Amino acid sequence: MGRFLWLSGQTLGKNEQPPQDGRVTWRIRVSDGTPGPDGVLPPLAFPERRDPPGGGLDAYRAARKDGTRAFTLWADPHRAQVFAHVVTKSAVKSGPATYEVLGGAGEPLALITREPALKGGRVRTRWTVQQAGAPPAVGLKGRAFWWFMWWLISPVQLAIAVASILGGGDIARTPRRTKWRADNRVVLDFQSGSGSAFELEVLADWWDDRVLAALVALLGSHDGWLGSQWDTASQS
C-alpha cells in the first residue's frame, strides 16, 4: 500500500463564511503522518496562486490561457514558511508547458512537463516528471480503452451537455487516471479515491514530498474543461 496525496478546499457549513484572517484555504493532504490534537492528519502543504506583478485574478486567468501557472506551496496556512514554489519555465498556447519546482530557498527540485493531447502525434496528454537525482517518470492521461469509449459516446455527451445547460443531466468526465512509469516500473498512480477527489498514490520511496505536492497542485489546475480548477477561484 502506497501513500496518497490529494487536493481539498475548505469545507463550509450552511451558515459559515470564508475565514476573515486571510489564511490559505486550499490544502494538499497526505494519508500518513502524525495526527494532531483533533485526531486529524495535518495537511502537507497549502497551495496559493501567485498573481502576475501588478495584476490580480483576471491577469492570472489571462496568462494561464497560454499554459502559465505560478503557485506558492506554504508549509502553514498563515504563510509563515514556504514549502515549495512552482514557476513556469516555458509555455506555448495549446502546446507543451514546462514547470519548475523550487524549494523554499529557491533551489531547483524538479521539472514537470505537460504535453497536451492531439498534438505532435500524441493521442493522450503526457506528463513527465524529472526530479533531481531520479529517473524521469512519464505518465499518459487516461487509459486508451476508456478514451475510445468516451469518443464513441461523444455525440450523446453533446446532447447531454445541451440538456445540462437547459436544466438537467450530467456529462461524463473524460478519462483521468494517470500512471507514471520510471525504468518500466509504476512509481505514481493518479486515480479516483474513496471520495470524489482524485488521489496521487506514491509507489516509490525516493520521491520528494515537495515535488509530489507541486504535481498535485498542477494536476488540479489542469482539470479539463469539465473540471473546476482550484487556481481560478476568487479565493485561492
Q: What is the CA radius of gyration of the chain?
A: 18
Residue 116 phi, psi (nearest 5): -65, 160
Q: How far is Cα 154 from Cα 144, in angstroms, rounded to an integer?
A: 15
The full set of domain ranges for the chain reads 3-142+177-232, 144-174
Please name the residues in contact with 176: beta carbons below 8 A apart, sequence gap of 6 or more. Answer: 141, 142, 190, 192, 198, 224
Tens of pLDDT, residues 81-99:
999 999 999 999 989 999 9
For strands 71-74 and 198-202, give the pairing.
unpaired
Contact indicator for 5, 202 with CB cutoff of 8 Å? yes
pLDDT digits (tens, 9 = 90+) for 15-71: 445 566 788 999 999 998 777 777 778 899 999 999 999 889 999 999 999 999 999
- For 121-146, how does the pLDDT look when each residue is reduced to its tens digit (9 = 90+)? 666 899 999 999 999 999 998 665 44
> Quick count: other Cβ atoms within 10 Å of Cβ 64?
20
pTM across the whole model: 0.83
Closest CA to 236 of 41, 48, 71: 48
Q: Phi and psi for 144 in degrees, rounded to 5?
A: -55, -40
Q: How confident is the model at residue 158 (pLDDT cuts 50, 70, 90)?
A: low
Report the C-alpha gap between 30 and 42 in whole angstroms: 8
Output the pLDDT for position 38.
Answer: 73
Q: What's the pLDDT tens digit per position in 180-220?
A: 999 999 999 999 876 667 899 999 999 999 999 999 999 99
d(CA 120, CA 117): 8
DSSP 45: B
